[in-house]
A and B are shown apart, each in its own frame.
Chain A
């Protein structure tokens, strides 16, 4: 071994040793903390916080899973909005998986940034964040308990590949024909056979906004959630889309929006995450309403297998000059 090789190898040691020394150097304002213990909020108590809603109105509290695991200690009052209502298989499964992850490997002993973890299949690693066999086994157990299937390994789509995504899934567009909103750019991921998480930038005419659209077939364990909010600072209301779909809307005080279209067999969640303009434009109730009425909630991606999509992407790449 040479000095050069030893120096390079040292650059590849486990994250936990780098983080440990980083803490000692105290160079970073806000360091990522590993051990987040979710505080699960009882829906009955949270429901009391609902302002101006009828008793039968199913608000975001019904979708709340408790403290966001991504708050980095900076936003402890943020809660995570699930892909399923309270007491459904999806929310129960997600809660159990969150709780397991919060207590597992609190010091990041087993964590790694390796591209490939040989002992577990790719979909466990890339879709669900597993990095040990034990995590994969726990995920299997939770999925089995709630009769949910795991999604196949996600496939990333770049903006220039979006026509392939739209064509092959048979969606063609995320927006209605009479939409007042345009999509100016989109990336995202497809989770075969039929789930996706796409991130379009929306041009409303009043301003451009970042968004994330997640489609989840309820037979499958959702890979992640896309909206986090302080419920006390979120205005909520029910809305009927132009096609008759019943929606739940939320607008936060800091100018983010959420749209939930909850069907018996699938859920479409849309997060409007803030202005894409400089200077930033505030997301108002009026603009949110325009966005809401522009989406097509009848979309149903056709089932596709991982290899078929990869072949299509490869085919397109080969055709490029």
Chain B
């Protein structure tokens, strides 16, 4: 079923919307949730919560790209669940490693003060991604948006894990320099 029809089903409050979403995007959402949570039960709950959130947001939203709309929801929900779990000292997994890597890019000494500055910082981040060579950008997004493991990324490109780590390190340093230059770090 095409995305437009699925969105229409949400708009007419048909529960078939959930079934069709699960058929087409269930695996996609689960893979994002599982990468973050490293736990089957938690990942399944996040995917269910994603469908519930989509149900509540459609309408009024009418996303132009349904996959990224759902993916963003899954990512946010799963990260929140991971944070809550970490607060109870049950964190760990790939997410912890990934966050340790990202920590290299920031100071953790100051927070973004308001939404306006956050919007500016997002522009900087989009500019950074645009500036990367295509392969670097995909590798960066797979690691820090989808939280894919180094091993998986390396396997899909035919790279050694060392090469992927090296690319990611180089790009994190570029991002750190840019954020320092723009005053966010």
Contact = CB atoms under 8 A, between A and B. Distances in A.
B102 A6 contact: yes
A141 to B, nearest CB: 22
Given A70-B3, A113-B68, 15 more contacts: A1-B106, A7-B79, A15-B65, A18-B72, A19-B65, A20-B134, A20-B137, A27-B28, A28-B27, A108-B65, A156-B60, A185-B12, A187-B12, A199-B8, A201-B12
Interface in A116-165: 126, 129, 131, 156, 158-159
B154 interface: no
Contacts of B138: 20-21, 24
Contact of A24 (B27, B28, B142): B142
Contacts of A19: 65, 67-68
A75 interface: yes
Nearest to B156: A24
A180 interface: no
Contact of B79 (A1, A11, A201, A273): A11
Contacts of B64: 15, 111, 113, 129, 131
A1 B2 contact: no
B173 interface: no
A4 B129 CA distance: 19
Given A3-B108, A70-B2, A210-B14, A29 B75 contact: no
Nearest to B134: A20
A280 B184 CA distance: 56
A185 B126 contact: no
Interface stretch (B38-46, B143-151, B159-167): B143-151
Interface string A53-74: 0000000000000000011101
Contacts of B63: 113
Nearest to B128: A13
A10 interface: yes
Contacts of A156: 59-60
B129 A17 contact: yes
Contacts of B76: 8, 11
Interface in B41-82: 59-69, 71-72, 75-76, 79
A2 B24 contact: no
Given A20-B138, A25-B148, A72 B2 contact: yes
Nearest to B4: A70
A23 B141 CA distance: 11
Tell me which of A7, A74, A75, A185 has the highest count of chain B C-beta atoms within 10 A of its own C-beta. Answer: A7
Contacts of B118: 5, 9
A11 B141 contact: no
A115 B61 CA distance: 8
A12 interface: yes
Interface of A: 1-15, 17-22, 24-32, 70-72, 74-75, 108, 111, 113, 115, 126, 129, 131, 156, 158-159, 185, 187-188, 199, 201, 210, 212, 273, 276
B142 to A, nearest CB: 5
B129 A13 contact: yes
B107 interface: yes
A108 B130 CA distance: 13
B170 interface: no
A6 to B, nearest CB: 5
A72 B118 CA distance: 34
A75 to B, nearest CB: 7
A10 B68 contact: no
Given A5-B112, A13-B129, A21-B141, A113 B71 contact: no
Nearest to A74: B2
A227 B8 CA distance: 13
A26 B146 CA distance: 12
A9 to B, nearest CB: 5
Given A24-B142, A70-B4, A15 B108 contact: no
A259 to B, nearest CB: 18
